[in-house]
Amino acid sequence: MRLTFIFLSLYIASAVMAQGQNRLWYDEPAQEWEEALPIGNGRMGAMIFGGDTLEEVQFNEETLWTGEPRNYNRKGAYRYLDTIRLLLEQGKQREAEELAMNEFMGLQSETEDNGPWLARVAAERKKEDGAYTYHFDDADWGKIPVPSYEGWEEVGLEGVDGAAWFRTTFELTAEDLKSDWELDLNRVRQYDYTYVNGQLVGHEQGDGTKRLYTVPKEILREGTNVIAVQVINLVGKGGISGYKDTSIPIGFKNAAGKFISIVGEWKYWIQDSEVPKVGTFQASYQPFGRLKFRFPAGDTQEYERSLDLETGLAEVQYKRAGVQFSRVYFASYPDNMIGIRLTADKPGQISFGLAMETKHEKHQIWKVDEQTLAMTVDVKGGALEGTSFLTVKLDGGTITEQDGQLQVRDAHSADIYLTGATNYGDYKTLVPDYIAPAQAHHQKVKKKTFSKLLKNHQQDYRQLFSRFSIDLGGEAQRDIPTDERLHRFESAADPDLVALYMQFGRYLQIASAREGTHPANLQGVWNPWLEPSWGSKYTTNINLEMNYWPTEILNLPELHHSLFQMIRELSEAGRETAREYYHARGWVLHHNTDVWRGTAPINNSNHGIWPTGGAWLLTHLWEHYLFNQDPKIIAEYYDVIKGATLFFKDVLVKDEQTGWLVSTPSNSPEYGGLVKGPTMDHQIIRALFGVFSESAKLLGKDTALRDSIQTMLPQIAPNQIGQYGQLQEWMEDLDDPDNKHRHVSHLWGLHPGNEINADDTPELVEAAKQSLRMRGDDGTGWSLAWKINFWARLKDAQHTYTMIKMLLRPASKAGGSYPNLFDAHPPFQIDGNFGGAAGIGEMLLQSHTTFVDVLPALPRELPQGEVRGLKARGGFEIDLKWFDNHLQQISVKSNAGKPLKLRYEGKVVEIPTKKNKTYTFDTTLNLLK
């Protein structure tokens, strides 16, 4: 056993250390979640902090969400459709949005009457000695930083909704009592009752209402004064938020300009957290739990934390008292588990305590056997629960259980097996008896040796990751920690970081979703928050689609299938939405969905009524076909494609002024409110009609319907060029040259669509450039990623690289990347990682027109490189090599035997190909073999 342990330790260490090219590494443990390293198998994800004394592994399971199966659709909403359209036609946007908000939005989940509860928590404000009074004894209260703009969830009260009291003091002089004061709290989530020295000075409700209260001098005291605030938070983020710009303090100000800051540590008391249910439009993805390790303290030397993209292994190494300690972490898809191995280079050195924890208030932890703990969590206010099992297997040493924790002493090595499951069946059903099969799965996994589990993982992972490689030079930078490289990138050349970012995107795709899982949500499969931003769900007006932009070009086509399965489920759920909201055939999806496959409009009528989400998703089916040339995928999903087409055949209406067919009501995500005929809609619908027509032709089906769709196509409102030379975002020429909104929705036809391109529509290409100039370069993380793809499609190499530098800058309010290379919206959204990886691919190869363009947007900063395994439409797999910014050699494998039209620097070579044959060309596209 001891020899096996030594061999495995050396094998893992050599595997990791030998792969310097595709490796993130750091010389200290993570302090923040955005510094931790992600592992995942599509079903489970974990974040590795790598602490030397205190280690945290925060883990998730893909189906742990809030909510439950339910109907999201408002019955008979279509009765208001014509009126909304008429109001928009008459220019009455506000009235249209108000009617739509009342009658055309999706149904929220159950809402309970909060009147009795509000009366109960109000009682404290009526007590003579209540928490608002000057002399109230708050000595036993906890302490919390105030303000917290992103909610009290980020400063220790995560998962708390309800009523809470906050108290602090401030000092005044006798001179200060000569005038009234003004209290500025700015934002409070959601209700506040604010008292100074026991007197109510203000009460407001609503997240967006500024709290600016007059404090009469008569109620103030020389010396110590007390401010007490009751905050009532019914749902979502809570607390005294203050200002987003934290340089602006909250506090008191008098007419003379004196300011007293009250930023700091306040006392707090949770009065009542049993808040009545508040309806929500859609569900939120939830964290599952944490593993907490406590190791013996000591002086740490030669610390290193890494993530090897070649092997899918995270590792921690350090020395203490002459002993080399190593930890290896992986998430296995074939065995659906997370594995951790702890070793040392001397026997009997592995000792630690291990606990399972969770943020879910309702949970249970119990001992299964001497080696195994289990934890069940219940999602607050929802139908889902989950159970995870944790087993520790030792070589040598002892293990005991004490107070729900495992204590390991003097082992040679320790292997840790983590599994998890929930009672989620599918979007319509639950599985009440899920724990027994979950435990049986864990029993099966823990019977396997760690080496067998590791081998299964690496064989599975490598057959995906190893298909593609990229080397852009600059290998000397690999000796610098990744976070430091990120800081240097803006001012120092680091082509290898560009290659690493591209491969990191591929790694995240493999880790966040696989066949048989759900697709990657806004955060892949990683989320630490009970109240994640935007619910960490599926935003379908770009973010979900962007997650799958690199899938085909970067040679991971199987990973598309989880998205395709979701599309089928959405088509089933979306049939009722089409019927109840539009009185139409087929199916529709609006701008958001969740694990329960909601398809109705949500949030607000000014951006939630956007009917082309499903149509956009369907273009991914066609892209998969174009890249792989296998008609089976089209045959399998033809009914879904046809259903979306029938919906828009029924829903498009003739515009009285222009005679064009238009989409109404809709919006241009997420700017400009509810409108008639946004440009993006028409680009997507034309693409959908093209997909249907080609699919029907390919399968020899629905000739009459195909002909009618072909008749409609040229009648759809076209792209238009506006007064500034820009591509118009709407039918009217309303674009604001000073608008810097993060969405550039009307350029969908440039990317990911293809109807705007230099070969067929050069005038529209120039208009798209002007729109991009007007919008400006800056943006949130995913917006920067989209602009990389835009500028690559425009074949502007230097502007493309400028956008890459902006994406690969340290995270700030203006986007960028976190130390672990996660994309910063901010906060973290994974779409920017995927969009950025795809955009780097677009620099090197494009195939969205009839040509396969080689190095179409290669910047000066990447003068040399070698890429293997890029994919092009038509079923081609391509290897490239260039030096001094000029092509040296290109090899093209034809997987489908289609004609090849290759283009480089204006030269075009067109040849027939044979299936599975490889064709090699020199620097001027002369065929070598």
Q: What is the pLDDT, as a whole number, of residue 150?
A: 86
Q: How many residues are present in the chain?
A: 929
115-272 CATH fold: Jelly Rolls (2.60.120)
At 812 the pLDDT is: 83
Average pLDDT, the chain: 95
- CATH number assigned to the domain covering 2-67+305-466: 2.70.98.50
Give Cα separations from 754 to 696, 743, 798 (angstroms).
Answer: 20, 18, 22
3-state SS assignment for residue 233: strand
Per-residue pLDDT, 17: 41
Identify any residues that bridge with 290 across adjacent strands, giving them in sequence order.
Answer: 58, 357
pLDDT computed for residue 814 by the predictor: 79
**Element spanning 374, H or E:** strand 372-378
What is the mean pLDDT of the segment spanning 730-751? 93
Position 7 pLDDT exceeds 80: no
Confidence label for 16 from pLDDT (cuts 50, 70 and 90): very low
CA distance 775 to 787: 10
pLDDT at 76 over 80: yes
17-21, 473-477, 567-571, 756-760: least confident range: 17-21
User: What pLDDT was estimated at residue 19?
Assistant: 43
Please check the confidence at residue 580 and state whether its pLDDT lies above 80: yes
Residue boundaries of the structural domains of the chain? 2-67+305-466, 115-272
Confidence of residue 14 (pLDDT cuts 50, 70, 90): very low
20: pLDDT strictly greater than 80: no
DSSP string covering 98-150: HHHHHHSSPPP------HHHHHHHHGGGGSTT-TTSTT---TT-EEEEE--TT
Asked whether residue 5 carries a pLDDT value surpassing 90, the answer given is no
Q: At 696, is the pLDDT very low, low, confident or very high (cuts 50, 70, 90)?
A: very high
Long-range contacts of the stretch 339-342 (C-beta < 8 A, 24+): 339/415, 339/416, 339/417, 339/418, 339/450, 339/453, 339/454, 339/457, 340/57, 340/415, 340/416, 340/418, 341/8, 341/9, 341/12, 341/413, 341/414, 341/415, 341/416, 341/450, 342/413, 342/414, 342/415, 342/416
Q: Is the pLDDT of residue 929 over 80?
A: no
Q: What is the pLDDT of residues 769-819, one digit of tens each?
A: 999 999 999 999 999 999 999 999 999 999 999 999 999 999 987 789 999
pLDDT of residue 472: 97
Strands 54-61 and 44-48: antiparallel
Q: Which residues pair with 846 in a beta bridge?
A: 853
For tokens 């036993």, what's the residue?
Answer: 140
Task: Quote the pLDDT of residue 458.
Answer: 97
Tell me the mean pLDDT in the region 912-924. Answer: 96
What does the pLDDT look like over 869-904, one tens digit per residue?
Answer: 999 999 999 999 999 999 999 999 999 999 999 999
Sign of the CA dihedral running 874, 880, 886, 889: negative
Q: Alpha-carbon distance 489 to 778, whole Å? A: 17
pLDDT, position 13: 44
Q: Is 1's pLDDT higher than 50?
A: no
Mean pLDDT of 493-514: 97
Mean pLDDT (whole number) for 100-122: 96
Q: Is the pLDDT of residue 8 over 70?
A: no
Predicted local distance difference test score (pLDDT) of residue 740: 86
Scanning the structure block, which residue is given the tokens 């928590």? 121
Q: Residue range 115-123: average pLDDT?
A: 96
Quick: pLDDT tens for 130-158: 999 999 999 999 999 999 998 998 898 98
Query: Who wins on pLDDT, 21 or 214?
Result: 214
Q: Is the dihedral of CA 543, 826, 488, 776 positive or negative?
A: positive
- Are the CB atoms for 420 and 299 separated by under 8 Å? no
More confident: 6 or 441? 441
Comparing 555 with 403, the larger pLDDT belongs to 555
Concatenate the DSSP letters of all residues of 531-587 into one string: S-GGGG-EETTTHHHHHTSHHHHTT-GGGGHHHHHHHHHHHHHHHHHHHHHH--SS-
pLDDT over 90 (residue 10): no
